[in-house]
Structure formats: C-alpha cells, structure tokens
Structure 1
Amino acid sequence: MPTSVSSRAMSKTIVTRDSRGAGDRLPDSLHPVLRRIYACRGVENAEELNLGLDALLPVELMTGADEAARIIAGQMENDGHILVIGDFDCDGATSTALSVLALRAMGARQVDYLVPNRFEYGYGLTPEIVELAARDKPDLIITVDNGVSSVDGVAAANALGIPVIVTDHHLPGEQLPAAAAMVNPNLPDSRFPAKSTAGVGVIFYVLLALRALLRDRQWFRGRAEPNMADYLDLLALGTVADVVPLEHNNRILVRQGLARIRAGRCRPGISALLEVAGRSQHRVQASDLGFAVGPRLNAAGRLDDMSVGIECLLADDPLEARQLAVQLDTLNRDRRVIEDDMRQQAEEMLAGLKMKEMDLPPGLCLYDESWHQGVIGILASRIKERHHRPVIAFAPGEGGEIKGSARSIPGVHIRDVLDEVNAKHPGLVPRFGGHAMAAGLTLASGKLDAFRAAFNEVLQARLEGRDLEPVIESDGEIAPQDMHLEMAGLLADGGPWGQGFPEPLFHGEFEVVQQRLLKDRHWKLVVQPAGGDQIVDAIGFNLADDMPGPLPERVLMAYQLDINEFRGNVNLQLRIAHMEAA
C-alpha cells in the first residue's frame, strides 16, 4: 500500500515502481537490485543495455539529414559563408559549438555563429535576427535547437536570397517554415524513432550525414577526416542539460560522452566548468552536467550573452577556457541571488491568496513587473516543485508584452495545453512553443487575467484531483546488507540516469543516531537501517522547512545511495529526497 508522507509544502505519497514484468528477460549476470531497477524503467532485454556506439540508431533514419548534408556540402565546395544560429540555452550553446567545430574540422573555411540576445530579439530565427545576420552576407543559415516555428524568419531569409536549413527538436505548429531543408525527429514525416533527441543530437546526425557525403565525394583526399566521437562530450552535456527523456539512443550519447570526459578527452571549457563547480572530472556523472555545468552555461543566456558560454566551449586554450568559466560561474551566482528574491516574492503572492494548498487553482500564473526575464523559467520550476501543479512565471517584455516560461508536471503536456487555449481563444497567445514539460509564450500585458482564466479552464477539464497530488516513486526497499559503497558504485555505473530514466531511489525506516542542522536548511544525520547493524551518514538538502527539528527517533526516508568523497576519504552516504516520522 502507498505510504503517506506529510510536508509543509504538500502531502506526498511514496509508491513503489512497477517492474512491468520485464525483469525475467534481463541477463542473470545482473545484480538483483540492478535488474529490478532496470525492469522498473521498462528495459526488457540485453540489447537495451548495450550503450556502445555500435548500438546508435543509423543516420539513414534521420529524415532530412541527407538533403541538409547535400546543401551544406555544396556551400563548402563553393567556399560559401555558413552562419549557424543557435538558441540561448545549454542545448543551443552545445549545438552551436558542435556545428562550428565540426564544420571547420571538415574543411569549411567560412563558418560563424550568431545567437540572439533574448532580451532584444526573442526566441528563434526572427525577421529581426535575419536582418542582423544579413549584414555578414551569409550564403547559408543553419538553425540549431530552433527554427521549426520560425515561419516569418525563414520567409525573411528567403526574400533576401539566403537559404535556411532548420535543425530542431521542438514540436512543430500547424504551419512549417519554407526552409531549404528541415531536420526534426518530431516532424510528422520523420522516420527517426528517438523522438526525444535533443537539438545537439539532431545537428550531430546532420554532421554525420555530411561527413559520409563528403567522404563519398573524395573531399577528404588530402584533408584530415574528423572523428565525430571527439564531440560526444558536447552531446552528453547538451542532452542532459535540456532535460530530454533518456531513451536508449540518448543514453548511448550520454554514456559515451561521460566516458570521454572522465578520460580527460573533452573540451577545455567543460573541464574548466567542472573545476569551478567543484566537481571531479574523473568521477563525473550525468547529474554533474545537469546541476553544475548546465546552469553555469545557461546563466550566460539568462543574464547576459550566450556567446560567453559558446566561446568557453570553443576555446582550445585551457587558460582562456578557465577565465571564461570563472565569468560564467560569477553570472550563475548572480542568477541565484535574483532567483531567491523572485521565489520569495512568488511565495508571498501565493500566501496572499490565503488559500489552503488543496484550494489553489490547477495552474499558477505569476507575474511581477520587477522580475527578470532570464530567470522566470527557473522560478517556474521551483514553484512547480513545491506546489506540484503547472506554473507559468511572467516578466515584462518589449512593446507592451509580457513573456512567460511554463513548467509542467507528469501527465500534463504543457504545449498541448497552450495550443488548446489558443484554439479556444484565438489571438490570446500570439506566440508559444515548447515541449511536454516546458514551454515559452508571449502575451499582451493587459491579457494576463484573461489568459489565467482560460489556462485554468483547460487544465480543469484535463485534470483529476489525483493528478495534483505529488508522488515519490521508489524502487522499493533495499536490504541492509546491500547498503554499501560497492552497491553505490554499481548503481552509479549502471546509468546514465536522468529525465525519463531516473536515478535509483529507495525507501525504508531508519533509527536516527545523530542529527545536526546545517545553515538552518540541511539535515546532516547518522542513521541505522531497520534490521541492520551498520550506521550510515545521510544528508537531506533543503529539508528543514518540510521537517523541522528535532527529528523523531525513527524516520521513514526516501533516499539514494551516494558516494561522498571528502579530503581523500570515500564513504557511503544516503542522499535523502524526503523524510517523515515513521
């Protein structure tokens, strides 16, 4: 039976994941705990555990990649000027860096990039960005991690005689741009089965197709042919940071990229970003890319200019990379201060409603004229995590508009919700786009109340009460004899873990042997598992608000097995995700 867990934010429930009956078909050589974990994630056979490059989906399946390669090859043969236009997040930065590095390595002599400043030009290939790009007289524009909704921008480029190749992974709208070639696994005619491929993965496949075509044309006779595996560190970073589901193909890209980073065979910028974040390069996990490297790159696009992040990834000189990484780290610290202030304001807004948690509307639309446009996405994520419902945070934009960043919960496809709002109220949402779990939109500033009502009307029709009750999915209990450092290492190596393929999480009861509050926010404990003799260190970050002290003698915890390395000592540590009195 589910176990109810109380918190100050919301009541939570721990449920044990369903193994879906797949465990019996996995290799007997797997440790039983790992077999159970894989089965709970829908892994059905040994082929799905093969994360070697030989198991990657073939480039022939990426619809449109061959046509894009043909156009790029033609430009290279004519010494054309190729301009890459990226997005201002980590996926966009890695996509841009990958494109520039690989095209130059293949022998393209005129390759540049342009990333729009989000505060001046907005998202994607807009007509304004085309006008700016045209000053450099490009012969070809390649969009990376954007473009599928850039109908007007592509039309503006076509009017200037500049062909556009769109490479993107976002969901298409009703109308597609008239691009010279389009590569997007989410287009209706795409044969590529890995629909969750990030933008950096899409352009990677285009570059694979380009290399194959150039090889057939004898282009590399007298030229060095690049090894595309050299760019897997960028693939891993962009894929993890964009929080796309880690389906099998994505897991291969991330696993192989992590292996290169650990071996020291990565871009100097990635090494430098790990260093300033205090993370070990030789023990790096996907979570380090998602929670340490990605946010520092994203900070550039949020507060300043993403070209700082791209230059960090492009840098060949470790000293230059280190200087840029320090600059990105400073921007990330500034971002945290802004975010903390905005989050406090948002919680005060919700408190002002004087509602119980259960009486809050199904979706939260929050706006303050002082909020920073670059940080509203993180703010929406934080509020969503605390109140477990779709959240859209808005900030002032240009020309009497406000810009919103939406984050959703499992079971609510946020872009589809916005699409339905737009269908029922034409013109209310002039621009929107995104994924199932995240989206962006623009409103006229006087339309917020009307949008809020329409948004919640659509959500109310789609949701049931249970959908707004947060659930902690556990892989069950783990025997005390399996609670050791070797098991933590086995689980770490069993990844990569991430979105759609979550890191193993267990639950169980523990005796609290010692308890200490760190910085009034984090619980530092020594605990003893029920039925076990050993004692184990445990840490619960930001749990003091949900469970103030002193703690009871016995607690129920949802936790992960973690490896804690401190001053040369390596020990097992439980990382507590949730805790309540047993």
Structure 2
Amino acid sequence: MISAQSGLRQQWNIVSPDADAESVTRLAREVGCPEAIALLLMSRGIVDASTAKTFFNPSLDDLIDPMLMLGMPEAVARIQQAVRGGEPILIYGDYDVDGTTATVLLKTAIERTAAKDRPAVVTYHVPHRLREGYGMQTGVLGTAAASGVRLVISVDTGIRAFAAADEAKALGLDLIVTDHHLPDDVVGVPNAIAVINPAQEGCGYPFKSLCGAGVAFKLAHAILSAAAETEEERSKLRNSLIPSFLKLVAIATIADSVPLEGENRVIVALGLRELRNPVQPGLRALMQVAQIPANRPPTATEVGFRLAPRINAAGRMDIASEVVELFLTRDSERASTLAEKLNRLNDDRRATEAKALEDIETRLVCLRGDDGVFPAECIVFDDPAWHRGVLGILASRIVDRTGRPALVLTHEDGHAHGSGRSIDGFHLLDALTAVHTEGDALFTKFGGHAHAVGFSLPSGSVEALQTRMRTYSSSLLNGALLAPPLECDVELSFHELTSEFFDWLTRCGPFGVGNPEPVFVTRRVTLSADVRLIKERHICLQLFREDEPARFSALGWSRATDWPSRCAEMGLQRGSVVDIAYRLKCATNPQFPGLELELLDINLS
C-alpha cells in the first residue's frame, strides 16, 4: 500500500498460529464455531476450548478481587471511619470521561454504605480545564479544609500530585489517591494514607491496565463488599449494584483507550450488556441524543464515537461537573436538559476542531519533503488561536494523517498548554521525561502514559521543546515504527464469510486497543464493475471470485488513504484482479442489507 502519510509500501503480516490443521479442527469442534474462527482464536493465543469458552462468556466471576490492590485495606478502613463518623468527604475528579464517571461511581458507592438515618456527606470537585488545568490544586484543598472536609479522595488523578499531597497533610486532610497514570520513576508516589494504582511499584494486583474509573470502581467494589453484612446484601451487590456500576466503567474504559484485554474486556463486555435500555435518567437521555437504539446493547464503537465525545465535550468546551450532575440526577427533565447541552457542546467542539484542522492541514502540506514523505520526527505544532479543549483531538488527527507522534499546543497568559498522542513503539511520556531533564527543566507540569500526555510550560520554552523533541524522536523513529506492517489475522475465501461466521466474529468483541478488530485477507478477487466514487473522496468496489458464487461490496473510506488516487495509480477497472485486506462489517444501509467489506489495503494480484 502507498500510505498517504508515509509514502512507503506497507507490508501485510498474516499471523500464523503455531498449530496444525488437526488442532484447528479440534478446537472448532469443541467450541462449536467455524474453523476460521478457531484459527482466529489461535492467532490470538487462545488454543484450548476452556480458554475459548471463557473468552466468549465473560462473567462477574472473572473480575479480580479488589483487595489484592496495594493500599486497598487502608483506603477502605479510612472511608468506613469517615462515613461512620459523619466526616465530610471530597472526591477530587478530572474533567474527561474517565474522571467524571469515576467521580460518579465513587460518590454513589460511598453514599450507599452509609446508614439510612445518617447519610454520608460526599461532595466533589471537577476542575475547569481552562481555569485550573489538569491535576490537584492546592487552593481547592484549602477551601475544602476550611469547609470542614477531613478526607479527600482523588480519582483519575493525583499520582504525581506531590505538592498537593504535602499541602493536604499541612491542612490536616487525609488523602487517598486513586489513579492509573504512571508514577514518577524517581520520586515514587505522593505522601498519602493510601495510594491505589496497579501501576505503582509493589502492587500485586495482576492486571495493570485499568482506566481511572476502573481503579475507582475497584475501591467502590471493596467498600460496598465491606458494607454488605448479610447474605441478602451480598446477593444484591453481586446481582444488581455491580452490574449497574459496570455501565459507566465500560464507557470510561472504551473512552480512555486502555487495552480491551483481560479484566478490561470483561468490564466492557458486561457493561455494554447492561447499557441496553438503561433506567438511569441521565444515561438514558444521553443515549437518546446520541441516537443509540435502546432495543439492544450498544457496540464499543458507538460508545467510543457517539457517547464518549458528548461526555468529553463538557470538559473541553464548558463545565465538566455537569456530566457528574447528569449521571447523578433522578429528574428526567433535568437529565434531558443536560444531555441536550452536551450535544450542543459537542457540535461546538466539532466546529472548533474543524477550523483548527484546516490550518493544520496547510502546515502538513508544507512539512512534507520533496518526496512527499513527512520527516521522521515528532511533530510539534502550536497556535494561540487553538482551543485548549480540542488539543488532544488535534494531536490524534495529526498522528492519523502522518503516522508520526504529535504534540499540539496553545498559548495563554505567557504559558503554553499542550496535549500529545503517539504511535505504537514510541513511548511519549518517556520522551517528555527525557527532554524535560536534558538541560534546564522545560515543563511546569506534565504526565500521562505511553500513548497520550498532557503538559504545560512557559511560552518562551516552546522552541526549546521543538528542538529537543526533534533530536530525541529522530534517533528512535525508524522505518519499522513509521511504516509498520498491516497486521492481518486470517486468510479467507469469500464462501467462508457467512452470517454464522459474522455472529461468531461479533462474539470475539468488544474490539479496541489490545483486542483489535480482526483483519482478513482474500486473494485473487475480481472487480465486476469499474470503481465507483462516493462523494468524490471514497470508493466502492464490487468484488467476486471466479470459483465462488459469493459477491461483496468493498468500501474504502479516505481517512488516512486517498483511495481514488490509489485506485487510479493501480489502474483499477472492471476485470482487475486484486488481493484485499479488510474488516467484515454488517451493512448499515437498510436498502442493501447483509455483509460488506471495509477496505484497509489493496494490491494487484
């Protein structure tokens, strides 16, 4: 493939499981699935029927005991003490999907553990992205202490909040940190009565990739379990409360792009199931404005591209605390009002993003070399006109367009604020750590993980950031990272693409990072008609194989690949014989039901 972002031909890497045909047939027979699905399972390391059946049937029993997490016993005991003593508790959240849903989960759980005649006093603070920025602020802690708060619990933030932790101690506040971001390798973790983060050193929790809401859910699960004293209460916890909580955890897990494997896949699979026709007014109203049908569980794609952007829009464009209110309110009218506001904010976000992308596209054209290839370095763009709320999205778009890691910044009152996104194999937080310590310290604040970071620095230091990132990244970004092979799962014939196969394929989901949607290869297929353009940007091919009756439409969406130019370059026309790499989809147009192919790459046979 000649990729629009790299100018390099992409190779296809078809995963070959270490199994013979007899083993594939045996697994298919024992599981009851098509052999192509058995081959797909083996290509992903699932080689026996027992593991396969667990994979296809995730259950609450697959959730890991939260008490295995370092710091959990101390956190549970301190929260119980606060609830029983009537101490005011502050939950310190964050302004994205992960942080707001985590706030809702923990507030709800703590309140449920209180006695009916003595309700828990739980407030929350969700920072304003523009006025406060990311992370715990000492001023907020001072206000909380003055109001009588004695226990602060962070969610999805705090793992590097060393100054805030010291301030909390000086104010007489007990602090519990729950977070999933990577701790500081040198300093360690903040001084708190408990730090709950599976990524911290010494934590024996076996699954390390929970999102922030996932970690908060673990604390919620632990305190609810501790409060359940009778068999009836334990039954209600298992059969009602935990499944209900998993709805929001699933949304956050998908939105935060953590790997959908292990416990995360269990959380999302169960949570999506519970999202069918929700009764909570806010969630129901949000799904309605996002046009997600209520008669079936939503897909991970619908959550990621319809629900999550509307939730994030509040933090990006306005006040994220309204998301917490949306998910806590029992007033259907208020819920509808808030959901409609999130919908409008998302429209505003899209318009703001589109305007900035026009400028970015112009810059990218200038950045290409004479050979049409982008430099082998991290791209750093800044503009004071760009809205801070969309910087992460803009960085993602640059990565999609160029195949390079990207940092995008804007300026305000002498300070630059930025977000970054990366590619596989280039650890972005390590990169920021390296350039920060290369000479004079660059950042006033930074954090994140391998694929996503946030940071701030003086505006006058942006040029130094560009220079250091260029030097650091160019030494690491090579051909293998910039033009990775297209990972393909199984080579199939058209006759294997049946409705039964698609049903089994759907059960292999939910798909996302760590459990990518399978990519298939079919060779020597023939175009039964000339290439059809869709809106001058996309393409539709009609394909068949000479030895098979099945025919399929294959759609090429021009996001990172200029499909019309690609087809013209290869001279594709009726009768052309090609090899294709694709994903299998169910057609969304009711006039043309059935299965269709989403093209990822195409080569002449």
Same structural fold, with TM-score higher than 0.5 when normalized by the shorter chain: yes
1:319 CA drift (Å): 4.0
Distance 2:143 2:217 in 1: 26
- Alignment-derived partner of residue 127 in structure 1: 138
Contact map agreement 1:489 1:563 (CA 8 A) in 2:
no
Q: Deviations over 1:22-41 (max 9, x none)?
A: 79595642432222223333
1:468 CA drift (Å): 1.3
- Alignment-derived partner of residue 210 in structure 1: 223
Distance 1:231 1:171 in 2: 25
Cα distance change of structure 1 residues 341 and 424 upon mapping to structure 2, 3 Å threshold: same
Of 261, 280, 294, the residue aligned with 2:293 is: 280
- Alignment-derived partner of residue 586 in structure 2: 563
Of 75, 79, 97, the residue aligned with 1:72 is: 79
Of 42, 45, 49, the residue aligned with 1:42 is: 45
Contact map agreement 1:522 1:540 (CA 8 A) in 2:
yes
- Does 2:330 match 1:310? no
**Structure 1 residues 142-221: aligned runs within 5 Å:** 142-173=153-184, 174-175=186-187, 176-215=189-228
Cα distance change of structure 1 residues 140 and 543 upon mapping to structure 2, 3 Å threshold: closer
Greater mean deviation of Cα atoms: 338-347 or 212-221: 212-221
- Alignment-derived partner of residue 334 in structure 2: 320
1:158 CA drift (Å): 1.9
- Alignment-derived partner of residue 296 in structure 1: 310
Distance 2:147 2:160 in 1: 24
1:310 CA drift (Å): 2.1
Distance 1:302 1:181 in 2: 30
**Structure 1 residues 363-402: aligned runs within 5 Å:** 363-397=378-412, 399-402=413-416
SS at match of 2:153: strand
- Alignment-derived partner of residue 121 in structure 2: 110
Cα distance change of structure 1 residues 15 and 135 upon mapping to structure 2, 3 Å threshold: farther
SS at match of 1:447: helix
> AA paired with 1:292?
R
Contact map agreement 2:177 2:194 (CA 8 A) in 1:
yes
Contact map agreement 2:368 2:374 (CA 8 A) in 1:
no
Distance 2:152 2:583 in 1: 45
Q: Deviations over 1:384-410 (max 9, x none)?
A: 11111111011114x411011111111
1:53 CA drift (Å): 1.2
Distance 2:281 2:485 in 1: 40
Distance 1:37 1:423 in 2: 45
Distance 1:369 1:17 in 2: 45
Q: Deviations over 1:44-102 (max 9, x none)?
A: 54336252111222223111111111111111101121111111111112111111222
> AA paired with 2:192?
A
Of 519, 539, 542, the residue aligned with 1:505 is: 519
> AA paired with 1:124?
G
Q: Deviations over 1:414-439 (max 9, x none)?
A: 11111111232241223211111111
Distance 2:452 2:384 in 1: 22
Of 31, 34, 43, the residue aligned with 2:34 is: 31
Alignment coverage as a number of residue pairs: 576
Cα distance change of structure 1 residues 17 and 157 upon mapping to structure 2, 3 Å threshold: farther
Distance 2:223 2:208 in 1: 21
Distance 1:346 1:195 in 2: 36
Distance 1:78 1:371 in 2: 48
1:453 CA drift (Å): 1.5
SS at match of 2:470: helix
Q: Deviations over 1:522-566 (max 9, x none)?
A: 334443356432222333333596122676224544321112344
1:190 CA drift (Å): 0.7
> AA paired with 2:245?
Y
Of 573, 579, 597, the residue aligned with 1:574 is: 597
- Alignment-derived partner of residue 93 in structure 2: 86
- Does 2:352 match 1:341? no
Distance 1:439 1:543 in 2: 24
- Does 2:8 match 1:11? yes
Distance 2:237 2:206 in 1: 32
Q: Deviations over 1:450-483 (max 9, x none)?
A: 1111112222333333211143222132211122
Cα distance change of structure 1 residues 517 and 274 upon mapping to structure 2, 3 Å threshold: farther
Contact map agreement 1:10 1:387 (CA 8 A) in 2:
no
1:491 CA drift (Å): 0.9
SS at match of 1:424: coil
Instruction: Give unmatched runs, 5+ long, in structure 2.
Output: none
SS at match of 1:284: coil
> AA paired with 1:69?
V
SS at match of 2:410: strand
1:9 CA drift (Å): 5.7
Contact map agreement 1:233 1:257 (CA 8 A) in 2:
yes
Of 71, 91, 104, the residue aligned with 1:97 is: 104
Distance 2:551 2:581 in 1: 17
Distance 1:224 1:363 in 2: 48
Distance 1:414 1:334 in 2: 29
- Does 2:553 match 1:537? yes
Q: Deviations over 1:275-326 (max 9, x none)?
A: 3223334142111111211111111111111122222222334443333222
SS at match of 1:74: helix
Greater mean deviation of Cα atoms: 20-29 or 497-506: 20-29
Instruction: Give unmatched runs, 5+ long, in structure 1.
Output: none
Distance 1:91 1:102 in 2: 16
Contact map agreement 2:255 2:308 (CA 8 A) in 1:
yes
> Percentage identity across aligned positions?
33
Distance 2:401 2:368 in 1: 17
1:411 CA drift (Å): 0.7
Distance 1:95 1:484 in 2: 41
1:268 CA drift (Å): 3.6
Distance 1:482 1:319 in 2: 49
1:334 CA drift (Å): 1.4
Contact map agreement 1:194 1:247 (CA 8 A) in 2:
no
If the length of structure 1 is used for normalisation, what is the TM-score? 0.91
Q: Deviations over 1:188-238 (max 9, x none)?
A: 0111121111111111111121122223599979x9997222211111111
Q: Deviations over 1:231-250 (max 9, x none)?
A: 11111111111000122111
Contact map agreement 1:368 1:395 (CA 8 A) in 2:
yes
> AA paired with 1:279?
I
> AA paired with 1:286?
A
1:253 CA drift (Å): 0.6
SS at match of 1:253: helix
Greater mean deviation of Cα atoms: 277-286 or 168-177: 277-286
> AA paired with 2:382?
Y
Of 530, 539, 548, the residue aligned with 1:523 is: 539
How large is the Cα RMSD of the aligned pairs?
2.8
